[in-house]
Structure 1
Amino acid sequence: MTLDWLKNIDPDTLAKFAALEVKRDDDWFLKESIEIIMVMPDSTQVYKFWRANLDCLNEDLLTILEQWAKKNLTSSRSKKACALAKELIFFSDYVQEFPLGSIAINKELAIKGYQLALTVLTFKKFPQDWARIQNGLGIAYQNRIRGERADNLETAITCYQEALKVCTFEAFPQQWAMTKMNLGTAYGERIRGERTDNLENAITCFQEALKVYTFTAFPEAWASNQMNLGNAYRKRIRGERADNLENAITYYQEALKVRTFDAFPQDWAMTQINLGNVYSDRIRGERADNLETAIVCYQEALKVYTFDALPQNWAMTQGNLAVALGSRASLTNNAQDLDQAIELYGQALTVSAPGSYYFISQQYRLGHTLARRYETSKNPDDLQKSIAAYQIALDYLSPEHYNRQQYWQAIPATQAILGSRLVRDGNWQEGLKLLINSLNQLKTGDNSLVYANALYQTGYAYELLSDQENARLYYRDALRLYEHLQDLAGIATSRESLGNVFVSQGHLEKGMSELAQARDIYQQLGKTEAAEKVDNTYQSVQQVWEQVKSEVLE
């Protein structure tokens, strides 16, 4: 039979027929996913299916999932409903780990799936499944993107604690240890409560997990727990800071007994980065040696974290390496280290997603490093680029990437630095406005050092504007706060500036007193050039003072 009849249909209508697709039920994607999981209960096949239908993992699926559950998860007495609820656990497990599409939606789908499964798999009838869901929910809430970070972490902690009602050490030791580890990581990230207590709780959880996760029985889990302990001790507040950092180094080095380059290259690389971070912070040993070790660790990690294979990890490591090089430059005054650090930040920013945590941090650090180079180069281009980097960081700051407390501290801190750079660039009024605004916010915050720095920079701005009286007041306030914090570098800088202002106001004796104290502190800190500079000023003022006294006597 021919299709001559098609010739009688106008082209527009024919085009509409051609565009028609076979209509599928709204829940076809979900049903297909569940069926694949039932046949192949691992992530391989379902991930392949999801990659081919990525557009179906969307916001609408949350509603479809709920509608599907109303039809299929009818009662805990139904064998079919119970079986489907158990498959829904697998669905939730897999979707929250799925790396493609919208990660935020994937986490919401996992949470919804777990919650719907709980309507059938109750604590009384299915305690083990119920506990497994609680653990999965805890992980999903801990990694959740939507909602308040603090609320999500509280929910995660509650879920893990609920799971431990079933997963006891005696009945299910492996599940107990796994849940303890999860609970420990949640306490380590917790925002509410006392930070000190949260970290102690985290350490306790990790140490308890080692009762089961021994090196011999579970080497991989043991190594992961060593990493967790290293992270917790690096952040620990109780105890001596130096001791805590030494413990962190030991735990990371222990983890490397299992996490070798050949067996677990990515885990090995991440451990190298953590080692680099703690050596960058290390108090014991020579500062120069610690920084060299940190730099080597970051360079080692880059053997795995390459631009082509793992661009995001590569960018993160480039940023860490840049920080270490910047710190080394502070010790050696090696301009090449600053140049390389600036280049590394630039490379990392080509990969870091605009608005992400790393993007903001790298812009901020780039601005700081460019400003440091400007101090010696006096190249106005460096200052302009520094201001631009700080402005970008400020524009992108949002609670999405920082918890609320960090966010409200980060904004005025960045405003203060940007304001000081604008003042140095000659934009005095705009810079001073930012500085004053930052002071109003920092005054009620808990970052006293940032507040002290902002006070000092405000004094400097007034000094440039030839408002010596306001400059003196802000320098004095900064000095008081630096003394309270026992920050010798801040004390020396404030006394030097305060001394210069006193001299300019004609208070020569007061100025000499401040300058002499600044000189002595610089010498104590080993800052020879700064001490000599202040001493030269002191000698000049002393000559004038002697001349004034002699004229009075005559």
Structure 2
Amino acid sequence: MTQNNLGSAYSNRLRGERAENLEKAITAYELALQVYTRGAFPEDWAMAQNNLGIALRHRIRGEQAENLERAIATKELALQVYTREELPERWAMTQNSLGLAYSQRLQGERAENLERAIAAFDLALQVYTRQDFLEQWAGTQSNLAGTLIQRAALKESWIDLDTAIDLLQSALEVSDSNSFSFISVQYFLGNALSRRYEHSKSPRDLQQSLQAYKIALDNISLEHYDRDQLWQALPTTQSILGSRLVRDGQWQEGLQLLLNSVNQLSRGDNPLAHANALFQTGRAHETLSDWDNARLYYRDALRLYEYLQDRLGTAQSRAGLGSVLVSQGYLEKGIAELAKARESYHLLEQLDKVAEVDDIYQATQKAIEKQAIEAYV
């Protein structure tokens, strides 16, 4: 019991280096599991497995992909003891935690990982009802919504976005405005509304998105995050709000937020958030017709997305880079990137994006052919 409690204390510790605290927590849980065997102490064993999985999911050191695989394995072990029939609340807790791990998983097919995450959250919500477990219900609703937003981006599913927005607005009805969950829900809501605006072009979606992001940004503080977490939450929110402001015409304020986020995330331990910030900054510079900076940020984003094996991010960065290269007159280089982006979108079954890139590709191909004719003449 002492090692398990010690692990929990280190996991939640606000003082000291976050990475070191998590290493100590993992060690404590592993020591606890040397005593808590499944045969002798099944419930304690399952709790230590679940706690170890949470620490591994948040782990900063080591390979992120491997940490997540281990986290998933520990939660599935815990579910061998935590059954819905005998321990429904702990079963739901572990299903929710398993859903988070699958939503972040780097190995395997992205679409399949998201489906597993959604299934786990749905199972948790069978126990976490609004009537019986209000706080847990709201948190799981938010987690499910965040995963639906990811699936919407992967499959261009507007139904998923509508569902996510409904879930988040329901969660806000019961979230304390001074709580971490309130900030998280506002952040997800801003994200979902921003994505829906790209499809609906509704000014209401845009304004509500900006309002949600600003509320999240204004409420981020050390009261809700430890210092290391704050350095991730703040620039990530700045990045998304900044990109939205640029597209809304508030260029100076939006670009400054983006540059702040890139600078801070480059020193952090969330490479995906850093890649997203680089991409959004490239997109902002492209919107402002600042081709040189757009090319640099798109290229940096592409390298990081490729390293992370993020297929959607890679496709988006190639499309942006190709478009900018064409705008600068580098037609051959641009069309090569566009061809790769088009192929990637085909594999992701994002046909609207395929058509969008293909329009630029065909126009570039005609320009190259025209140059060849003029050179021959």
Instruction: Tell me how far apart the structure 2 counterparts of residues 481 and 213 of structure 1 sit (CA, whole Å).
Output: 41
1:313 aligns with 2:136: yes
2:240 is paired with a residue whose SS is: helix
Q: 2:257 aligns with which of 428, 434, 437?
A: 434
Instruction: Tell me how far apart the structure 2 counterparts of residues 412 and 553 of structure 1 sit (CA, whole Å).
Output: 52
Q: 1:199 to 1:419 in 2, by over 3 A?
A: closer
Quote how far apart the aligned CAs of 1:290 are: 4.9
User: Residue 502 of structure 1 aligns to which amino acid in structure 2?
Assistant: L
Quote how far apart the aligned CAs of 1:486 are: 5.2
User: Residue 248 of structure 1 aligns to which amino acid in structure 2?
Assistant: T
TM-score computed with the length of structure 2 as normaliser? 0.84
Instruction: Tell me how far apart the structure 2 counterparts of residues 375 and 488 of structure 1 sit (CA, whole Å).
Output: 21
Q: 1:284 to 1:548 in 2, by over 3 A?
A: closer
Per-residue CA deviation, residues 344-389 of structure 1 (Å, 9 max, x unaligned), is: 1011111111131111111111111112222222222222211111
Instruction: Tell me how far apart the structure 2 counterparts of residues 482 and 203 of structure 1 sit (CA, whole Å).
Output: 29
User: Residue 383 of structure 1 aligns to which amino acid in structure 2?
Assistant: L
Q: 1:250 aligns with which of 53, 76, 86?
A: 76
Q: 1:308 to 1:206 in 2, by over 3 A?
A: same
Instruction: Tell me how far apart the structure 2 counterparts of residues 455 and 479 of structure 1 sit (CA, whole Å).
Output: 9
Per-residue CA deviation, residues 236-285 of structure 1 (Å, 9 max, x unaligned), is: 5657346414422332212315xx44x54433332332233334345677
Q: 1:319 to 1:505 in 2, by over 3 A?
A: same
1:418 aligns with 2:241: yes
Match of 1:507 in 2: 330
Q: Is the 8 A contact 2:57 2:68 kept in 1?
A: no
Match of 1:35 in 2: none
1:254 is paired with a residue whose SS is: coil
Q: Whose relative contact order is higher, 1 or 2, with alpha carbons under 8 Å and at least 6 apart?
A: 2
Percent identity at matched positions? Answer: 54
Unaligned runs of 5+ residues in structure 1 are 1-177
Match of 2:366 in 1: 543
Q: Is the 8 A contact 2:145 2:167 kept in 1?
A: yes
Match of 1:385 in 2: 208
Instruction: Tell me how far apart the structure 2 counterparts of residues 440 and 229 of structure 1 sit (CA, whole Å).
Output: 32
Instruction: Tell me how far apart the structure 2 counterparts of residues 323 and 231 of structure 1 sit (CA, whole Å).
Output: 18
User: Larger helix proportion, structure 1 or 2?
Assistant: 2
1:375 aligns with 2:195: no
Give runs of aligned pairs for residues 155-174 of structure 1, distance below 5 A. none
User: Residue 417 of structure 1 aligns to which amino acid in structure 2?
Assistant: I
Q: 1:417 to 1:329 in 2, by over 3 A?
A: closer
User: Residue 313 of structure 2 aligns to which amino acid in structure 1?
Assistant: G
Q: 2:289 aligns with which of 466, 478, 481?
A: 466
Give runs of aligned pairs for residues 358-369 of structure 1, distance below 5 A. 358-369=181-192
Q: Is the 8 A contact 2:47 2:78 kept in 1?
A: no
Q: Is the 8 A contact 2:56 2:71 kept in 1?
A: yes
User: Residue 91 of structure 2 aligns to which amino acid in structure 1?
Assistant: W
TM-score computed with the length of structure 1 as normaliser? 0.60
Per-residue CA deviation, residues 187-227 of structure 1 (Å, 9 max, x unaligned), is: 444574583x7555544433443455445554443442333
Q: 1:283 to 1:252 in 2, by over 3 A?
A: farther
Q: 1:537 to 1:291 in 2, by over 3 A?
A: closer
Give runs of aligned pairs for residues 279-428 of structure 1, distance below 5 A. 279-282=102-105, 290-428=113-251
Count of paired positions: 373
Match of 1:150 in 2: none
Instruction: Tell me how far apart the structure 2 counterparts of residues 521 and 286 of structure 1 sit (CA, whole Å).
Output: 14
User: Residue 266 of structure 1 aligns to which amino acid in structure 2?
Assistant: E
Q: Is the 8 A contact 2:26 2:52 kept in 1?
A: yes
Q: Is the 8 A contact 1:245 1:282 kept in 2?
A: no
1:226 aligns with 2:49: yes
Instruction: Tell me how far apart the structure 2 counterparts of residues 492 and 284 of structure 1 sit (CA, whole Å).
Output: 18
Q: 1:482 to 1:332 in 2, by over 3 A?
A: closer
Per-residue CA deviation, residues 440-461 of structure 1 (Å, 9 max, x unaligned), is: 4334444444333333323322
Q: Is the 8 A contact 2:56 2:67 kept in 1?
A: no
Q: Is the 8 A contact 1:495 1:515 kept in 2?
A: yes
1:256 is paired with a residue whose SS is: coil
Q: Is the 8 A contact 2:56 2:70 kept in 1?
A: yes
Q: Is the 8 A contact 1:366 1:386 kept in 2?
A: yes
Q: Is the 8 A contact 1:223 1:256 kept in 2?
A: yes
Unaligned runs of 5+ residues in structure 2 are none
Instruction: Tell me how far apart the structure 1 counterparts of residues 7 and 294 of structure 2 sit (CA, whole Å).
Output: 49
User: Residue 327 of structure 1 aligns to which amino acid in structure 2?
Assistant: Q
Q: Is the 8 A contact 2:49 2:75 kept in 1?
A: no
Q: Which has the larger radius of gyration?
A: 1
1:255 is paired with a residue whose SS is: coil
User: Residue 182 of structure 1 aligns to which amino acid in structure 2?
Assistant: N
